[in-house]
A and B are shown apart, each in its own frame.
Chain A
């Protein structure tokens, strides 16, 4: 038990520490960051070796995209675009070197819409934009279609890191790029954007330096959260199935309730799967019936209960027993009437000069001024309470017997 608690405490602390550091630390290592005004740059060249043994040099310029193929949750291959600084020797990449409009074939050579020869280097292949699977068939390719030139699944043989020339203290300085060196464009307001060197314009203020790695892991942290959240759905169903499974074993009325539960789960699962079917199929009609004709009306009915409950609760509780209660009631009546068209009925005759006294405007003033002040006060309280609670959990100061707090 004690070991488990310690484990929870350490894990909580580490996770919190990541977010704190990620928030507090700048994106690049402070001592190893150069700042200056952008003048020019020398592009990074990635040398790729294809499966057939051809070498292709790809200079990273506008229009060039380096991506890695990863499997998405459905098992299909998906391109994940990479920054140049993330490229490392030995990994497998797909590079899109250029895109153009297909202008037909001339003497067996591919030409673009202007008639210029768009020669393909060994290892490069032509793909119809949008179709991902196989290279385009040149003979059947319609003239005028958008095509892109790609090098598929090639290993990175070598990287010649480029450089950026900056104006620093009225002198030119050439900053060498390298793996994990990020280029940030500073803005007048807000946090800087990370860019590729070719996106910089002369006169931009850049900060170039080694990344602290924390920022790169943000998407991984987000995915962690997604996975945990999705697992929870299955956990709920499991918990319900276990409770109802136990009931199924017993005899008596409970058994029928449990049976109804499993039948409802089966129907729900079918409705969930069939919702992806085409609109005119029976399956889709079944799913729509369950969701929109069964669940929808049930939900609406429950929500509408609020109107009835609200009326009777307001009637019971809203009694003028003091001066404060009278003030509150007057405010409530103004805001309620101002929100409905009756507000205009009652005060619309006042005319444009007395527009400020129209009930919707008075209600609006109450909401925008006194209400805002109250809400701000409450937000401060909630926020500080949140910070206090979060700190206690993060530093394992919470003394509860349930939450891994050290008793």
Chain B
């Protein structure tokens, strides 16, 4: 008995890979629904974003590309779908990212805009990528138009006929909240964008990195965050809770990806337990043999 169990101590890598593949792949073909608990960190940022007044914009720093799209795409899409649904104006930038970042964000913007009939330049603008953090963050807080003289499509940011959204926008005082969505957003945003601390900061980051944001949330330097895919799913559920059927969830990924994620976790937990069982069994079997 112990001898057989002892084999669990050295399960081949390939077996673990296979089971992981099945656990993460299968939920895509089955309709599994799981209950969701909304964490306070997500609720806090949802409320600030939702209460954006018409004279302010939401600033989004979208730095993610293909590498971390598994976690950042659902977050970005949950946020943008909410903004488009409410008609909240937003400005998308990328700072020190992969040069492809604006292309990724713009694709989602266009898709969500088509759903809710929003217009480029009026409801949102994508200003493209700039290098030079952290100094450039301070320049953005002082005058965003001087940092980005042209938008991603080549329009002048001072051209009020093409980009009316930017007409009343200068710097930090005009931003309702800063959303930094990236694998690991830079802490510099809290210090540099607005040293007076008027702009609340929210991060959308990979699940693993979130452990390091809690001290900043409890100190109030950060408003809250979306934690990995779970955060995206929670954000979507908060929007649905408030706006009901007006919210078109077709194509949104947060809620959908949560299920394979949960099953993946189960596989990891199971293998940790089995590995320990195997270790104990091996020890027992070894003792039995020596007797």
Contacts and interface: CB of A to CB of B under 8 A. Distances in A.
A–B touching in complex (CB under 8 Å): yes
Contacts of B207: 339
B131 interface: yes
A291 interface: yes
A275 B268 contact: no
A267 B37 CA distance: 46
B150 A72 contact: yes
B87 interface: no
Nearest to B187: A379
A298 B267 contact: no
A348 B37 CA distance: 10
A132 B159 contact: yes
Which residue, of B21, B37, B142, B266, has the highest number of chain A Cβ atoms within 10 A?
B37
A311 B20 contact: yes
Given A308-B16, A318-B272, A295 B100 contact: yes
Contacts of A368: 214, 217-218
B275 A371 contact: no
A222 B134 CA distance: 8
A310 interface: yes
A79 B150 CA distance: 12
Contacts of A292: 107
B35 interface: yes
Nearest to B163: A130
Contacts of A333: 269, 272
B196 A367 contact: no
Interface string A221-233: 1111111111001
B268 A311 contact: yes
A287 to B, nearest CB: 8
Interface string B237-276: 0000000000000000000001101101111110110111
Contacts of B276: 318-320, 329
A201 interface: no
A222 B139 contact: yes
A304 interface: yes
A74 B151 CA distance: 12
Interface in A114-140: 129-132
B248 to A, nearest CB: 21
Contacts of A79: 158
Interface in A317-361: 318-320, 329, 332-333, 336-337, 339-345, 348, 358, 360
Contact of A219 (B16, B146, B152, B259): B146
B215 A340 contact: no
B156 A360 contact: no
Contacts of B138: 218, 222
Interface string B180-193: 00000000000000
B82 interface: no
Contact of B66 (A132, A279, A300): A300
B85 interface: no
Interface in A239-269: none
A131 B158 CA distance: 10
A309 to B, nearest CB: 9
Interface stretch (B43-51, B53-61, B67-75): B67-75
A288 B104 CA distance: 10
A315 B20 contact: no
Contacts of B107: 288, 292
B285 interface: no
Chain B contact patch, size range:
35 or more
The B interface is mostly helix, strand or loop, or mixed, namely helix
A88 B40 CA distance: 54
Nearest to B136: A222
Contact of B196 (A191, A233, A337, A341): A191
Nearest to B32: A341
A279 B97 CA distance: 23
A13 to B, nearest CB: 18
B288 interface: no
Nearest to B192: A222
A375 interface: yes
B13 interface: yes
Contact of B268 (A80, A222, A310, A345): A310
A296 interface: yes
Of A72, A81, A229, A308, chain B has the most CB atoms within 10 Å of the CB of: A308
Contact of A222 (B135, B154, B160, B230): B135
Contacts of B130: 226
Contacts of A312: 13, 16-17
Contacts of A228: 132
Contacts of A360: 37, 39
B70 A304 contact: yes
A339 to B, nearest CB: 6
A21 B143 CA distance: 23
A229 B158 CA distance: 26
A402 interface: no
Given A131-B161, A341-B36, A336 B16 contact: no
A78 to B, nearest CB: 5
B117 interface: no
A307 interface: yes
Contact of B265 (A76, A129, A318, A336): A336
Interface of B: 11, 13, 16-17, 20-21, 24, 34-37, 39-40, 65-70, 96, 99-100, 103-104, 107, 110, 130-133, 135-136, 138-139, 142-143, 146-147, 149-150, 152-154, 156, 158-162, 195-197, 207, 210-212, 214-215, 217-218, 227-228, 230, 258-259, 261-262, 264-269, 271-272, 274-276, 279
Given A218-B139, A345-B35, 11 more contacts: A81-B143, A131-B161, A187-B196, A190-B196, A191-B196, A297-B66, A339-B227, A344-B35, A367-B210, A375-B214, A376-B215
Interface of A: 72-74, 76, 78-81, 129-132, 187, 189-191, 193, 218-219, 221-230, 233, 272, 275-276, 279, 287-288, 291-292, 295-300, 302-304, 307-308, 310-312, 314-316, 318-320, 329, 332-333, 336-337, 339-345, 348, 358, 360, 364, 367-368, 371-372, 375-376, 379
7 contacts: A79-B158, A224-B132, A304-B70, A312-B16, A314-B268, A315-B275, A340-B230
Cβ-closest 4 pairs across A and B: A299-B66, A130-B161, A341-B34, A229-B131
